Amino acid sequence: MRVLFYNWDPIDGPAGGGVTGYLKELFRSALTSYPKLEIWFLNSGRSYDEKDESYIRKRKNIFGKRIHAYEVVNSPVLAPGRQSPVNVSVYLEDRVLENIIGDFIEENGVFDVVHFHNTEGISLGVLKLKEKFPKTKWLLTLHNYYPFCPQVNLWSHGERNCAGDDPSDCVGCFVTENMDLARFRFAHLDIPELKNIFYNYSATHPDKAEAKHYEQYRKETLFVMNSCFDEVLCVSKRTKEVAERAGIRKNILRLSYAGSAVAGRQRGYKGNGNTEALHIIYLGYAFKEKGFDFFLRAVDSIPKKMAEKLFVTVVARANEETCRRAEEILNIPGRYEGSIYLNGYEDEDELEKILSAQDLGIIPVLWEDNLPRVAMEQFAAGIPLLTSDLGGAKELGGDNPDFVFRAGDIEDFIEKLRNIMEHRELLGKYFEQAIKLKTMDEHLKELMEIYEGETIMPIEIS
C-alpha cells in the first residue's frame, strides 16, 4: 500500500509543534510494524528560494531512504496559515499548486491513500484533485480548524473563542499580532531573508479581505470536503462536535484519538508524595489562546491562605518581558513558596523529572484546542488535569465535573482548585473514569483498517 502524507511542516521540521511530533512517532512505528507500507511525504508553504516559479523537489529526512520526502518550493499559499491574510484570496484562486501536485501524484504512480494532516500551505484546488484520482482514498485528520477558519483556531481578533460562522467577524482578524510577537513565534524558521514574509507582511499589513471572501472561503471548502473526502478523522469528541457544527457531513466524521509514544508509559495515578502543598503545573506555549495569560491572572487572584498551600511550576518558552511578569507573580512574599518559572526545558529526561513532582496539571485553554499533546504527556505521567470546558483535554478525565471549569472564569477556576485542595482524594478518583490513551500500534492498526476500506466516488465539483 502506498500512502502520501501531507503536512505543511517537513518531517523533521521544528515549527509544526504537536502535529510534527505525532507524525514522527507515527512514521517511526509504521516503518517497524508495517514494512510493506510505502510512505511518501509532502510539505508546502515553508520553503522558498530565488526562483519565481513553484516546483516540487526531493528533500532529505531523518528516516533516510525509508521515506520518500518531497516539498513544494515557493508555494503561493504561506504556512502556517494563521500568519498571512493574503492566503484567503490566493487559497481560493490559485491553480499552480493544483497542477504541480496533481502532476506529482500522477508521475509517481498514483497512491492508494492521500492523507492530509492539515490543509495549510496548499490551495482549495489541491483538495479537488480527488476528482482526478477517484480511486484514491482522500482523508483529513482534523488537528486544527483551518478548513473553516483561515485563522486556524477559531480565535477571534486575538481575544476570544468564536464559532467561525459569522464572516463579518473574520474581517481584520489577522492584524492582532505585533511585529515582536510574530518574530518571536517564528524566529526559528530557516526561511531566507528574500522570502522572509511570515511576520514582515502579516504583522504590518491590514487584512484586505471582506466578509464575502471569508464566506466564500468557508462555503467552498466545506463543499469540497463534503464532496471529495472519504473520511475526516477527529482527534477528540469535541473536535468532532465543532466540525459537525461547522457543516462537515456527519457520516464522514470519525472519532480517532491519536496514538502516542507516551501511551505506553501510562501509569494511572500513583501520587507524588506531596503531603503539604499541592503541586500544580502549567506546561505549554505562552500564548493567550492557550490560557497562559489567564493562568497568570488566576494565580495572582488566588486568596493568600490558598496560595500558602500551593507550589506552582510554570514551564513555557517566552520573551523576556513575559518571563519577568510570571516570575514576579510567583515570587510575591508569603505566596507560592519555592514556586518556579522555567523558560522551557532541555530534553525529555528533564521534563520527566519536572512532571514527577506534580500533583495536578492545568490546561486553561480559551479556544477549542483539539487535544493538546502536553495534556497527554502529563496525563500519561499520572497527573490529573484541571481543564477548561473548551477543547478535547477534558475528555482524558472522562469529562469529570470536579476537574472542569468554565473557560476564562477565574472565580470558577479558583473554586474548582479549592475543592481539589480540600478533597485530595479526588486526585486518585480522577483516573477511575479516565480514558486509556492509544498506543501508536493501536492507532496504526485503526489507520490501516481505514486505509484498506472502500473509497467514495466524488461528485462533480468543477
Between 321 and 248, the higher pLDDT residue: 248
Between 277 and 142, the higher pLDDT residue: 142
Res 245 pLDDT > 90: yes
Q: Residue 397: its pLDDT value, please?
A: 95
Specify the residue for cell string 496504526. 444
* Residues 144 and 118 sit within 8 Å (Cβ to Cβ): yes
Average pLDDT of span 146-155: 91
Res 203 pLDDT > 70: no
Pairing state of beta strands 160-161 and 231-234? unpaired
Question: Which residue segments constitute the domains of the chain, with CATH numbers given?
Answer: 2-259+441-451 (3.40.50.2000), 265-432 (3.40.50.2000)
Confidence of residue 16 (pLDDT cuts 50, 70, 90): low
- The residue among 91, 99, 116, 97 whose CA lies nearest residue 40 is 116
- The residue among 157, 141, 139 whose CA lies nearest residue 149 is 157
Q: Which amino acid is at 340?
A: I
Res 108 pLDDT > 90: yes
Q: How far apart are CA 255 and CA 234, in angstroms?
A: 5
pLDDT tens string 285-318: 889 999 999 999 999 999 999 999 999 999 988 8
Specify the residue for cell string 501520587. 271
pLDDT tens string 50-100: 787 899 999 999 999 999 999 999 888 888 887 676 678 889 999 999 999
pLDDT tens string 121-131: 999 999 999 99
Q: Residue 187: its pLDDT value, please?
A: 45
Confidence of residue 364 (pLDDT cuts 50, 70, 90): very high
- The residue among 56, 47, 37 whose CA lies nearest residue 10 is 47
At residue 156, φ and ψ (nearest 5 deg) are -85, 125
Q: Which amino acid is at 213?
A: H
Q: Residue 179: its pLDDT value, please?
A: 40
Q: Residue 188: its pLDDT value, please?
A: 44
Output the nine-digit C-alpha cell for 428: 486518585
Confidence of residue 325 (pLDDT cuts 50, 70, 90): confident
Q: How far apart are CA 46 and CA 72, in angstroms?
A: 8
Looking at every residue in the chain, the average pLDDT score rounds to: 87
| DSSP H helical ranges for 331-388 | 348-356, 373-380
Q: Residue 200: its pLDDT value, please?
A: 47
Average pLDDT of span 271-288: 86
* Exposure on the CB side of residue 314, measured as CA atoms within 13 A: 29
Long-range contacts formed by 200-207: CB under 8 A, 24+ apart? 201/84, 201/86, 202/83, 202/84, 202/85, 202/174, 202/177, 203/177, 203/178, 203/179, 204/179, 205/85, 205/175, 206/85, 206/172, 206/175, 207/85, 207/171, 207/172, 207/173, 207/174, 207/175
- The residue among 293, 336, 342 whose CA lies nearest residue 312 is 336
Q: Residue 442: its pLDDT value, please?
A: 94
Average pLDDT of span 373-386: 93
Pairing state of beta strands 155-156 and 160-161? antiparallel
Q: Residue 261: its pLDDT value, please?
A: 86
- Segment (H or E) for 6: strand 2-6
Q: Residue 83: its pLDDT value, please?
A: 67
Output the nine-digit C-alpha cell for 345: 526545558
Radius of gyration over alpha carbons of the chain, in Å?
Answer: 22
Res 225 pLDDT > 70: yes
Confidence of residue 182 (pLDDT cuts 50, 70, 90): very low
Produce one character per residue of 5-44: b if its CB has 16 or more CB atoms within 10 Å, e if not. Answer: bbbbbbbebebbbbbbebbbbbbebbeeebeebbbbbbbb
At residue 389, φ and ψ (nearest 5 deg) are -90, 10
Q: Residue 196: its pLDDT value, please?
A: 46
Q: Residue 382: its pLDDT value, please?
A: 93
Q: Residue 175: its pLDDT value, please?
A: 54
Strand partners, 399: none
Q: How far apart are CA 336 and CA 312, in angstroms?
A: 6
CA of residue 321 relative to chain centroid, distance: 26
At residue 131, φ and ψ (nearest 5 deg) are -60, -40
Res 140 pLDDT > 60: yes
Q: How far apart are CA 406 and CA 330, in angstroms?
A: 24
Average pLDDT of span 180-184: 42
Q: How far apart are CA 284 and CA 374, in angstroms?
A: 6
